[in-house]
Amino acid sequence: MNELEQLEKAFSGDLDLVLFFVSWVKNGRNATKAYKELNPQVSEASAQVLGSRQLAKIDRLAVMKSYGIGLEEYLQQIKEGHEATKWNDFTGEREPDHSTRKAYNDKIGKLLGIENENNTLNQYNIDKIEVTPIDLVSLKSADVV
For the chain, which residues make up each domain, given as ranges? 3-66, 70-145
Residue 47 has pLDDT above 50, yes or no: yes
Measured on CA atoms in the order 39, 28, 11, 117, is the torsion positive or negative?
A: negative
Q: What is the predicted pLDDT for the residue at 36?
A: 95
* 24 class by beta-carbon count within 10 Å (0-12 exposed, 13-18 middle, 19+ buried): buried
Q: How far apart are CA 56 and CA 50, in angstroms?
A: 10
Residue 8 DSSP class: H
Averaging pLDDT over each range in 43-47, 54-58, 96-100, 137-141, which range is the top one? 43-47
CA nearest 108: which of 69, 72, 77, 66? Answer: 77
pLDDT digits (tens, 9 = 90+) for 6-36: 777 777 788 888 889 889 889 988 999 999 9
Residue 110 has pLDDT above 60, yes or no: yes
Q: How far apart are CA 144 and CA 140, in angstroms?
A: 6
pTM over 0.85: no
CA nearest 57: which of 29, 23, 16, 117? Answer: 16
Q: How many angstroms separate the Cα of 60 from the Cα of each of 38, 50, 117?
A: 22, 18, 18
Q: How confident is the model at residue 135 (pLDDT cuts 50, 70, 90)?
A: low
Residue 1 has pLDDT above 70, yes or no: no
Give percent of the chain above pLDDT 90: 25
Q: How far apart are CA 96 and CA 94, in angstroms?
A: 7
Q: What is the predicted pLDDT for the residue at 141?
A: 57
String of DSSP letters for 71-108: HHHHHHHHHHHHT-EEE-TTT-SEEE-HHHHHHHHHHH
| Higher per-residue pLDDT: 116 or 20 | 20
